[in-house]
Amino acid sequence: MKLGFLGLGRMGSGMAARLLTVAPDLKVYNRSATATRPLADRGATVVQSIADFGDCDLVFTMVADDSAERDLSLGSGGLAQTLPAGAIHVACSTISVDCARALDAAHREHGQSYLSMPVFGRPDAAAAGKLFLVAAGPAEIFAAIAPYRERLGQRSFHLGERPEQANLVKLSGNYLIATVIESLGEAMALVEKGGIDRHAYLELLTGTLFDAPVYRNYGKLIADRQQRPAGFALPLAQKDLRLVMAAAEDLAVPLPFSGPLRDRFLQLAAQGHGDLDWSALGVGAAQAAGLPVVLGGDEREP
Protein backbone atom coordinates (compact mmCIF):
# COMPACT_ATOMS: atom_id res chain seq x y z
CA MET A 1 0.00 0.00 0.00
CA LYS A 2 1.03 3.60 -0.64
CA LEU A 3 0.59 5.43 2.66
CA GLY A 4 -0.07 9.00 3.71
CA PHE A 5 -0.29 10.69 7.10
CA LEU A 6 -1.94 14.07 7.76
CA GLY A 7 -1.60 15.91 11.07
CA LEU A 8 1.81 16.02 12.75
CA GLY A 9 1.12 17.31 16.23
CA ARG A 10 2.71 15.66 19.25
CA MET A 11 0.66 12.49 18.75
CA GLY A 12 0.68 12.41 14.97
CA SER A 13 4.43 12.92 14.68
CA GLY A 14 5.14 9.88 16.80
CA MET A 15 2.61 7.77 14.93
CA ALA A 16 3.92 8.80 11.51
CA ALA A 17 7.46 7.99 12.58
CA ARG A 18 6.32 4.49 13.54
CA LEU A 19 4.67 3.98 10.14
CA LEU A 20 7.76 5.22 8.35
CA THR A 21 9.60 2.08 9.46
CA VAL A 22 7.21 -0.11 7.43
CA ALA A 23 6.34 2.41 4.71
CA PRO A 24 9.57 4.18 3.68
CA ASP A 25 7.73 6.08 0.92
CA LEU A 26 5.27 7.56 3.44
CA LYS A 27 3.82 10.92 2.42
CA VAL A 28 3.24 13.42 5.22
CA TYR A 29 1.35 16.69 5.41
CA ASN A 30 0.93 19.32 8.09
CA ARG A 31 -0.33 22.89 7.96
CA SER A 32 2.82 24.05 9.73
CA ALA A 33 5.83 22.93 7.73
CA THR A 34 8.07 22.99 10.81
CA ALA A 35 6.52 19.77 12.10
CA THR A 36 7.41 17.90 8.91
CA ARG A 37 11.18 18.43 9.15
CA PRO A 38 12.08 15.58 11.56
CA LEU A 39 10.18 13.12 9.37
CA ALA A 40 11.69 14.51 6.19
CA ASP A 41 15.14 13.99 7.72
CA ARG A 42 14.21 10.33 8.18
CA GLY A 43 13.12 9.89 4.56
CA ALA A 44 9.43 10.76 4.51
CA THR A 45 8.07 12.61 1.50
CA VAL A 46 6.67 15.99 2.53
CA VAL A 47 3.78 17.13 0.33
CA GLN A 48 2.31 20.59 0.04
CA SER A 49 -1.39 19.89 -0.49
CA ILE A 50 -4.09 17.27 -0.04
CA ALA A 51 -4.12 16.79 -3.81
CA ASP A 52 -0.74 15.07 -3.46
CA PHE A 53 -2.44 12.10 -1.77
CA GLY A 54 -4.32 11.19 -4.94
CA ASP A 55 -2.27 8.03 -5.49
CA CYS A 56 -2.43 6.76 -1.90
CA ASP A 57 -4.15 3.49 -0.98
CA LEU A 58 -4.28 4.26 2.75
CA VAL A 59 -4.17 7.54 4.66
CA PHE A 60 -4.23 8.27 8.36
CA THR A 61 -5.37 11.54 9.89
CA MET A 62 -4.61 12.75 13.42
CA VAL A 63 -5.89 16.28 14.02
CA ALA A 64 -7.29 18.26 16.91
CA ASP A 65 -11.02 18.47 16.34
CA ASP A 66 -14.06 18.18 14.06
CA SER A 67 -13.29 21.38 12.23
CA ALA A 68 -9.78 20.28 11.25
CA GLU A 69 -10.95 16.80 10.25
CA ARG A 70 -13.79 18.19 8.13
CA ASP A 71 -11.43 20.65 6.42
CA LEU A 72 -9.01 17.88 5.50
CA SER A 73 -11.58 15.32 4.46
CA LEU A 74 -14.85 16.94 3.44
CA GLY A 75 -13.96 20.33 2.04
CA SER A 76 -13.42 21.17 -1.61
CA GLY A 77 -10.40 19.17 -2.72
CA GLY A 78 -10.43 17.19 0.52
CA LEU A 79 -9.55 13.55 0.96
CA ALA A 80 -12.98 12.27 -0.04
CA GLN A 81 -12.65 14.01 -3.41
CA THR A 82 -8.93 13.28 -3.80
CA LEU A 83 -8.40 9.64 -2.86
CA PRO A 84 -8.95 7.03 -5.56
CA ALA A 85 -11.84 4.60 -5.42
CA GLY A 86 -10.99 1.70 -3.14
CA ALA A 87 -8.69 3.76 -0.92
CA ILE A 88 -8.95 3.64 2.87
CA HIS A 89 -9.10 6.58 5.27
CA VAL A 90 -8.35 5.83 8.93
CA ALA A 91 -9.15 8.76 11.21
CA CYS A 92 -7.34 8.54 14.54
CA SER A 93 -8.58 11.97 15.67
CA THR A 94 -10.85 12.36 18.69
CA ILE A 95 -13.95 13.68 16.94
CA SER A 96 -17.70 13.67 17.48
CA VAL A 97 -19.97 10.83 16.47
CA ASP A 98 -21.68 13.18 14.00
CA CYS A 99 -18.38 14.01 12.31
CA ALA A 100 -17.53 10.31 12.01
CA ARG A 101 -20.89 9.64 10.36
CA ALA A 102 -20.26 12.45 7.88
CA LEU A 103 -16.80 11.11 7.02
CA ASP A 104 -18.18 7.60 6.50
CA ALA A 105 -20.96 8.85 4.23
CA ALA A 106 -18.60 10.98 2.12
CA HIS A 107 -16.13 8.16 1.57
CA ARG A 108 -18.89 5.71 0.70
CA GLU A 109 -20.17 8.19 -1.88
CA HIS A 110 -16.76 8.20 -3.55
CA GLY A 111 -16.27 4.42 -3.44
CA GLN A 112 -13.75 4.53 -0.61
CA SER A 113 -13.61 2.91 2.84
CA TYR A 114 -13.54 4.69 6.17
CA LEU A 115 -12.47 3.44 9.59
CA SER A 116 -12.55 5.39 12.84
CA MET A 117 -9.58 4.44 15.00
CA PRO A 118 -9.01 6.90 17.86
CA VAL A 119 -6.29 6.02 20.33
CA PHE A 120 -5.64 5.94 24.06
CA GLY A 121 -2.18 7.02 25.14
CA ARG A 122 0.05 10.06 25.46
CA PRO A 123 2.80 11.29 23.09
CA ASP A 124 5.48 9.05 24.61
CA ALA A 125 3.27 6.01 23.98
CA ALA A 126 2.71 7.14 20.38
CA ALA A 127 6.44 7.40 19.77
CA ALA A 128 7.02 3.94 21.27
CA GLY A 129 4.17 2.21 19.44
CA LYS A 130 2.41 1.51 22.75
CA LEU A 131 -0.96 3.09 22.03
CA PHE A 132 -4.27 1.30 22.46
CA LEU A 133 -6.27 1.52 19.23
CA VAL A 134 -10.08 1.64 19.33
CA ALA A 135 -11.56 0.91 15.91
CA ALA A 136 -14.98 0.61 14.32
CA GLY A 137 -15.99 0.19 10.70
CA PRO A 138 -15.88 -2.68 8.19
CA ALA A 139 -14.19 -5.72 9.72
CA GLU A 140 -12.37 -6.45 6.46
CA ILE A 141 -10.80 -2.99 6.48
CA PHE A 142 -9.72 -3.43 10.10
CA ALA A 143 -8.06 -6.70 9.07
CA ALA A 144 -6.45 -5.20 5.97
CA ILE A 145 -4.52 -2.58 7.94
CA ALA A 146 -3.21 -5.07 10.54
CA PRO A 147 0.51 -4.55 9.69
CA TYR A 148 0.15 -0.83 10.34
CA ARG A 149 -1.91 -1.25 13.49
CA GLU A 150 0.82 -3.45 14.88
CA ARG A 151 3.35 -0.64 14.39
CA LEU A 152 1.15 1.95 16.06
CA GLY A 153 -0.18 0.18 19.12
CA GLN A 154 0.32 -2.59 21.60
CA ARG A 155 -3.28 -3.73 21.24
CA SER A 156 -6.22 -3.07 18.91
CA PHE A 157 -9.93 -3.44 19.54
CA HIS A 158 -12.62 -3.69 16.86
CA LEU A 159 -15.89 -2.63 18.48
CA GLY A 160 -18.45 -2.49 15.69
CA GLU A 161 -19.27 -2.02 12.03
CA ARG A 162 -20.35 1.62 12.39
CA PRO A 163 -17.31 3.93 12.57
CA GLU A 164 -18.93 6.36 15.01
CA GLN A 165 -19.04 3.60 17.63
CA ALA A 166 -15.28 3.90 18.08
CA ASN A 167 -15.59 7.64 18.62
CA LEU A 168 -18.28 7.14 21.24
CA VAL A 169 -16.02 4.70 23.09
CA LYS A 170 -13.06 7.09 22.89
CA LEU A 171 -15.12 9.99 24.25
CA SER A 172 -16.50 7.82 27.05
CA GLY A 173 -12.95 6.79 27.95
CA ASN A 174 -11.72 10.37 28.11
CA TYR A 175 -14.73 11.25 30.26
CA LEU A 176 -13.80 8.45 32.64
CA ILE A 177 -10.16 9.58 32.79
CA ALA A 178 -11.27 13.13 33.57
CA THR A 179 -13.41 11.91 36.47
CA VAL A 180 -10.42 9.94 37.79
CA ILE A 181 -8.13 12.97 37.57
CA GLU A 182 -10.64 15.20 39.33
CA SER A 183 -11.54 12.72 42.08
CA LEU A 184 -7.90 11.77 42.65
CA GLY A 185 -6.99 15.44 42.96
CA GLU A 186 -9.82 16.00 45.44
CA ALA A 187 -8.81 13.02 47.59
CA MET A 188 -5.16 14.04 47.47
CA ALA A 189 -6.06 17.59 48.52
CA LEU A 190 -8.10 16.24 51.43
CA VAL A 191 -5.31 14.16 52.93
CA GLU A 192 -2.64 16.76 52.21
CA LYS A 193 -4.61 19.39 54.06
CA GLY A 194 -4.80 16.91 56.95
CA GLY A 195 -1.02 16.81 57.12
CA ILE A 196 -0.30 13.68 55.03
CA ASP A 197 2.36 13.75 52.34
CA ARG A 198 0.65 13.47 48.96
CA HIS A 199 3.43 11.33 47.44
CA ALA A 200 3.18 8.84 50.30
CA TYR A 201 -0.58 8.78 49.85
CA LEU A 202 -0.20 8.09 46.13
CA GLU A 203 2.22 5.25 46.87
CA LEU A 204 -0.37 3.73 49.20
CA LEU A 205 -3.17 4.04 46.62
CA THR A 206 -1.24 2.64 43.68
CA GLY A 207 0.30 -0.12 45.78
CA THR A 208 -3.06 -1.39 47.01
CA LEU A 209 -6.54 -0.56 45.69
CA PHE A 210 -5.71 1.48 42.59
CA ASP A 211 -2.75 -0.18 40.89
CA ALA A 212 -3.66 0.95 37.38
CA PRO A 213 -1.83 3.13 34.82
CA VAL A 214 -4.38 5.94 34.98
CA TYR A 215 -3.86 6.32 38.74
CA ARG A 216 -0.10 5.85 38.63
CA ASN A 217 0.55 8.20 35.72
CA TYR A 218 -1.90 10.99 36.47
CA GLY A 219 -1.42 10.65 40.21
CA LYS A 220 2.28 11.34 39.75
CA LEU A 221 1.58 14.38 37.57
CA ILE A 222 -0.79 15.73 40.22
CA ALA A 223 1.55 14.98 43.13
CA ASP A 224 4.55 16.45 41.30
CA ARG A 225 2.51 19.51 40.23
CA GLN A 226 3.80 18.82 36.72
CA GLN A 227 1.51 20.29 34.07
CA ARG A 228 4.12 21.40 31.55
CA PRO A 229 4.74 20.34 28.88
CA ALA A 230 1.16 19.33 28.18
CA GLY A 231 0.82 15.77 26.93
CA PHE A 232 -2.87 16.53 26.44
CA ALA A 233 -3.76 20.19 26.79
CA LEU A 234 -6.75 21.42 28.77
CA PRO A 235 -8.61 22.96 25.78
CA LEU A 236 -8.58 19.62 23.95
CA ALA A 237 -9.87 17.82 27.04
CA GLN A 238 -12.56 20.47 27.46
CA LYS A 239 -13.56 19.92 23.83
CA ASP A 240 -13.89 16.19 24.47
CA LEU A 241 -16.13 16.83 27.46
CA ARG A 242 -18.42 18.94 25.27
CA LEU A 243 -18.54 16.12 22.70
CA VAL A 244 -19.33 13.41 25.24
CA MET A 245 -22.06 15.57 26.78
CA ALA A 246 -23.61 16.09 23.33
CA ALA A 247 -23.47 12.34 22.63
CA ALA A 248 -25.06 11.60 26.00
CA GLU A 249 -27.86 14.06 25.32
CA ASP A 250 -28.57 12.44 21.95
CA LEU A 251 -28.74 9.02 23.59
CA ALA A 252 -30.67 10.27 26.66
CA VAL A 253 -27.95 9.12 29.07
CA PRO A 254 -27.47 11.20 32.25
CA LEU A 255 -23.84 12.00 33.13
CA PRO A 256 -24.09 13.59 36.59
CA PHE A 257 -20.33 14.10 36.96
CA SER A 258 -20.13 16.08 33.73
CA GLY A 259 -21.49 19.27 35.35
CA PRO A 260 -18.74 19.62 37.99
CA LEU A 261 -16.10 18.70 35.41
CA ARG A 262 -17.43 21.37 33.07
CA ASP A 263 -17.16 23.94 35.85
CA ARG A 264 -13.58 22.92 36.66
CA PHE A 265 -12.60 23.26 33.00
CA LEU A 266 -14.25 26.68 32.85
CA GLN A 267 -12.47 27.76 36.03
CA LEU A 268 -9.08 26.81 34.59
CA ALA A 269 -9.89 28.44 31.25
CA ALA A 270 -10.95 31.65 33.00
CA GLN A 271 -7.61 31.68 34.83
CA GLY A 272 -5.74 31.49 31.52
CA HIS A 273 -4.33 27.98 31.88
CA GLY A 274 -4.89 26.78 28.33
CA ASP A 275 -1.28 25.63 27.96
CA LEU A 276 -1.41 23.17 30.86
CA ASP A 277 -1.86 19.41 30.79
CA TRP A 278 -5.32 18.20 31.77
CA SER A 279 -3.85 16.75 34.98
CA ALA A 280 -4.29 20.37 36.11
CA LEU A 281 -7.88 19.33 36.86
CA GLY A 282 -6.54 17.51 39.91
CA VAL A 283 -4.20 20.31 40.90
CA GLY A 284 -7.13 22.72 40.57
CA ALA A 285 -8.82 20.72 43.31
CA ALA A 286 -5.85 21.42 45.59
CA GLN A 287 -6.01 25.11 44.72
CA ALA A 288 -9.72 25.18 45.52
CA ALA A 289 -8.93 23.62 48.92
CA GLY A 290 -6.67 26.56 49.77
CA LEU A 291 -3.39 24.66 49.49
CA PRO A 292 -0.30 26.62 48.42
CA VAL A 293 -0.51 25.91 44.72
CA VAL A 294 0.44 27.97 41.70
CA LEU A 295 -0.97 26.19 38.69
CA GLY A 296 1.70 25.49 36.12
CA GLY A 297 4.38 26.90 38.42
CA ASP A 298 6.21 26.22 41.64
CA GLU A 299 4.56 25.83 45.00
CA ARG A 300 4.76 28.77 47.34
CA GLU A 301 4.59 28.98 51.07
CA PRO A 302 1.14 29.95 52.46
Q: Which of 204, 151, 188, 197 is nearest to 279 (CA)?
A: 188
Beta strands 119-120 and 131-135: pairing type? Answer: antiparallel
Q: Which of 135, 120, 233 is nearest to 176 (CA)?
A: 120
Catalytic residue list contains 130: no
DSSP 84: P
Rounded to whole angstroms, the Cα distance separating 207 from 291 reads: 25
Say if residues 278 and 228 touch (Cβ distance below 8 Å).
Answer: no
Which listed residue (27, 170, 193, 239) is catalytic?
170
Say if residues 103 and 74 touch (Cβ distance below 8 Å).
Answer: yes
Taking CB atoms within 8 Å and a gap of at least 24, the contacts of 119-124 are 119/11, 119/15, 119/92, 119/152, 119/153, 119/170, 120/170, 120/173, 121/153, 122/217, 122/231, 122/232, 123/10, 123/11, 123/14, 123/231, 124/14, 124/231
Instruction: State the catalytic residues.
Output: 170
